[in-house]
Amino acid sequence: MGVKGKLIASMEVKCGGHLIHDLMHTNTHQAAVISPTINRLEVHEGEIGKVVNTDGQEKTVKYEIEAIDRYKKSISRK
């Protein structure tokens, strides 16, 4: 029997926020190279850097990016 709940983690990085935004927005495939705890990262549907509508479909994801704002350098996740 497993334990249900949320796991929230925070980590300190020694770089500007623009680098993290760039990693999550355009260079998603580089996350496995940068972090030793990520084994692989795949985009199953859609394109890197694009937000698409997936309502009404059954999905299994770690997290889904809801909106990307290039000017404010913010990424919203569901």
11-60 per-position pLDDT tens digit: 666 777 676 666 666 666 666 666 666 666 666 565 555 555 556 555 44
The residue segments making up the domain with residue 66 are: 17-77
What is the mean pLDDT of the segment spanning 49-72? 61
Q: Which of the two residues, 8 and 30, has the higher pLDDT score?
A: 30
Helix (H, G, I), strand (E, B) or coil at 20: helix
User: Is residue 31 domain-resident?
Assistant: yes
Query: Residue 25 in contact with residue 49, Cβ under 8 Å?
Result: yes
Q: Which of 4, 24, 3, 6 is nearest to 15 (CA)?
A: 24
What is the mean pLDDT of the segment spanning 1-16? 60
User: Is residue 5 domain-resident?
Assistant: no
Query: Residue 63 in contact with residue 11, Cβ under 8 Å?
Result: no
Domain count, the chain: 1
User: Is residue 69 domain-resident?
Assistant: yes
User: Is residue 73 domain-resident?
Assistant: yes
User: Is residue 4 domain-resident?
Assistant: no
Q: Which of the two residues, 72 and 9, has the higher pLDDT score?
A: 72
User: Is residue 26 domain-resident?
Assistant: yes
User: Is residue 41 domain-resident?
Assistant: yes
